[in-house]
Structure 1
Amino acid sequence: MTTPQLLRLAQGLWQKIQDEYRLLLGFVAAIGLAVTFGALAGEMLEGDFGAFDKNFLLALRHSDDLATPIGPHFIQTAMVDITAMGSETILTLVTLMALGFLLLRKRYRQTLLVAAAVGGGAILSGILKSLFSRARPDVVPRLAEVSSGSFPSGHAMNSAIIYLTVAVLIARSYEDPRTRSFIVGLAALATLTIGFSRLYLGVHWPTDVAAGWLVGLAWALLMGMIAITLQKRRQIEQPVDDTTESEEKL
Structure 2
Amino acid sequence: MHRARHALNPHTETFALAALLGLGAALAVFQDVADDQNEADGQASDWKILKALRRDGDPSEPVGPKWLKEGLTEASALGGITVLAGLTAVTAGGLALAGKRREALLTAGVFAGALVLSEGLKNLFKRSRPPAGYRAAEAVNESFPSGHALLSAATFLSLGILFAQGAKGTALRAYGLAVGATTAAAVGFSRVFLGVHWTNDVLGGWAAGSAWAATCWLVGRERR
TM, length-normalised to structure 2: 0.86
**Which position in structure 2 is the counterpart of 1:186?**
179
Tell which has more relative contact order, 1 or 2 (C-alpha 8 A, sep 6+): 2
Distance in 1, matches of 2:14 and 2:187, equals 33
Contact (CA 8 Å) 1:165, 1:219: kept in 2 or not?
no
Give the gaps of 5 or more residues in structure 1: 1-10, 236-250
CA RMSD of aligned residues (A): 2.2
The Cα shift of 1:140 comes to 5.1
Q: Given the superposition, is the C-alpha separation of residues 58 and 110 from structure 1 closer, same or farther in structure 2, using an over 3 Å criterion? A: same
**Which position in structure 2 is the counterpart of 1:218?**
211
1:165 matches 2:165: no
1:51 matches 2:63: no
Secondary structure at the residue paired with 2:142? Answer: coil
The Cα shift of 1:149 comes to 0.6
Q: Given the superposition, is the C-alpha separation of residues 67 and 22 from structure 1 closer, same or farther in structure 2, using an over 3 Å criterion? A: closer
1:103-141 alpha-carbon deviations (Å, 9 max, x no partner): 243212221222223222222222112111111112852
Contact (CA 8 Å) 2:114, 2:150: kept in 1 or not?
no
* Percent identity for Structure 1 against Structure 2: 33
Q: Report 1:4-83 matches (<5 A).
A: 19-20=12-13, 22-83=15-76
1:41-95 alpha-carbon deviations (Å, 9 max, x no partner): 1221233311111111111122233232211111111122111111110010110
Q: Report 1:115-194 matches (<5 A).
A: 115-138=108-131, 141-194=134-187
Distance in 1, matches of 2:138 and 2:149, equals 16
TM, length-normalised to structure 1: 0.78
Instruction: Give the count of matched residue pairs.
Output: 215
The Cα shift of 1:201 comes to 0.7
- Alignment equivalent of 1:86, drawn from 71, 75, 79: 79
The one-letter amino acid of 2:218's match is M
**Which position in structure 2 is the counterpart of 1:200?**
193
Larger Rg: 1
Secondary structure at the residue paired with 2:127? Answer: coil
Give the gaps of 5 or more residues in structure 2: none
Contact (CA 8 Å) 1:58, 1:140: kept in 2 or not?
no
Contact (CA 8 Å) 2:30, 2:204: kept in 1 or not?
yes
Distance in 1, matches of 2:117 and 2:174, equals 26
Distance in 1, matches of 2:53 and 2:132, equals 11
**Which position in structure 2 is the counterpart of 1:98?**
91
